[in-house]
Amino acid sequence: MRALYNLTTKIAERALPLVASFNEKLKLFTEGRKSVFTELEAKINPKEEYLWFHAASLGEFEQALPIIEEIKKDFPKFRILITFFSPSGYENKKNHPLADVITYLPLDTRKNAKRFLALVQPKMAFFIKYEIWPNFLSELKKRGIRTLLVSGAFRENQIYFKAYGDFMRKALSNFDHFFVQNKKSRDLLKSIGLNNTTLSGDTRFDRVSRQIQHNNKLDFAEEFINNTTCLVAGSTWPEDDDLIIPFINATSEKLKVIIAPHEIKEEKLKALEKRITKKYIRYSKREHEDLKSYDILILDTIGLLGKVYSYADIAYVGGAAGTTGLHNILEPATFGTPVVIGKNYKNFPEAIKLRQLAGLFVAASSNEFSNISNKLITDRSFREKTGMIAGHFINSNTGATHSVMKYLKNLPDFAKVS
């Protein structure tokens, strides 16, 4: 199985540049990796000690941030290297101030793993959630570099728990410790003989809980909303538009809507605008406009959604109407805002749990979305009660970062610099 994996990876490494010209994301994926080793040679200071954090994309980066923030505060000696697998993660966070070096992760070949680790020589490696790369993990183990999986989440249908999954089980065995989100994940790891686990929870709860302590004031949002009930639809895809736009166009309720599409390409924005029949404006065209005279504000920028959620009376979180994957429901929930999502959420335990608690609603059709939204808009008591459940859900699940930091502070290398 290992030979097949390595062969497949090598084939992908050679084939990707050939097909990248037909796909923008693949082009970023391949072009970005061409300069990885050159950048590392230029930016890594061999006299410094680095902690390496690897995240697949934006969501995993958000899970890493609370730990990075605490390390920067408690162990300032260490430098931080962050790698991304996806272009969406790297392109959006390549200049983040908390990291000393940010780059793509080279493809998982043995040659790349050896060269990468020889350059970086990390003191420790942190992989986030479900990033399991066998050659990197094997090389880390050979070099005696302590490796942690943080906010790990496992499901019984994954290859690690199948009869034919021996190769990937061996990859998992290279981790020194697993910090997992839930009891099911811990039990699954124990079922394959991995007992080096801590049931810590998800560091995303720590991340979003801190957002409420920040200055979330946005003058444009206050001007636009003008003390009116506000629906924020965040990280939406066309499938989400199918659910929400009919209601937005048809409702007679006094309502302001902020839509933050996941993709802000011009053709996507124009397609969205064609579907809207009410008065709308883009964020980028707000200057010198009377924002309160508009019904819909399209957020054609990145980096503001977390703050915009603080103005929401109702939040729709995109991704689950189709198959792209549910985006972060915890961001609006931390502000005590009731959340509505699409129907494809079965692989997102936080959504399952919040629905069980009645702090989240699922709409499988535009009619269902209309019914739920009308109830939340017209029944303020119901809306506030639901939002209170969502806020309590966040507060009662914080603490994962503390578990990781407690582990680190008990290690000799960290105790020396604390």
pLDDT at 259 over 90: yes
Do 199 and 153 contact (CB within 8 A), yes or no? Answer: no
Per-residue pLDDT tens digits for 85-102 = 998 889 889 999 999 999
| Contact assessment for residue 336 and residue 357, using Cβ atoms and an 8 Å cutoff | no
**Residue 415 pLDDT > 70, yes or no?**
no
Q: Comparing 11-20, 23-32, 219-228, which segment has the lowest mean pLDDT?
A: 11-20
Q: Are 316 and 341 in contact (CB under 8 A)?
A: yes
| pLDDT value of position 52 | 98
Averaged pLDDT for residues 242-250:
98
Lowest-confidence pick of 3-12, 134-143, 299-308: 3-12
Sort 287 into a burial class: Cβ within 10 Å, 0-12 / 13-18 / 19+.
exposed
Q: In 105-224, at which residue ranges do the beta strands (DSSP E only) sit?
A: 124-128, 146-152, 177-180, 197-199
> Phi-psi region for residue 77, left (φ > 0), alpha (ψ -120 to 50) or beta?
alpha
Mean per-residue pLDDT over the chain, rounded: 93
Quote the tokens at residue 97.
């101030």
Q: Bigger pLDDT: 130 or 194?
A: 194
Q: Which two tokens stand for residue 80?
A: 């931080």
Higher pLDDT among residues 240 and 2, named by residue: 240
User: Quick one: what percent of the chain has pLDDT higher than 90?
Assistant: 85
Contacts for 90-96 with beta carbons within 8 Å, 24 or more apart? 90/28, 90/32, 91/28, 92/58, 92/302, 93/58, 93/61
pLDDT, tens digit, for every residue of 343-376?
999 989 899 999 999 999 999 999 999 999 999 9
Q: How far apart are CA 194 and CA 180, in angstroms?
A: 12
For residue 417, pLDDT beyond 90: no
Q: What is the pLDDT of residue 236?
A: 98
pLDDT for the residue 19? 64
The pLDDT assigned to 2 comes to: 75
pLDDT higher than threshold 80 for residue 14: no
CA 331 to chain centroid, in Å, comes to: 11
Give the helix/strand (H/E) hosting 83. strand 79-84
For the cut 60, the answer to whether the pLDDT of residue 240 exceeds it is yes
For residue 261, the 8-state DSSP code is E
Q: Say if CB 319 and CB 235 are below 8 A apart.
A: yes
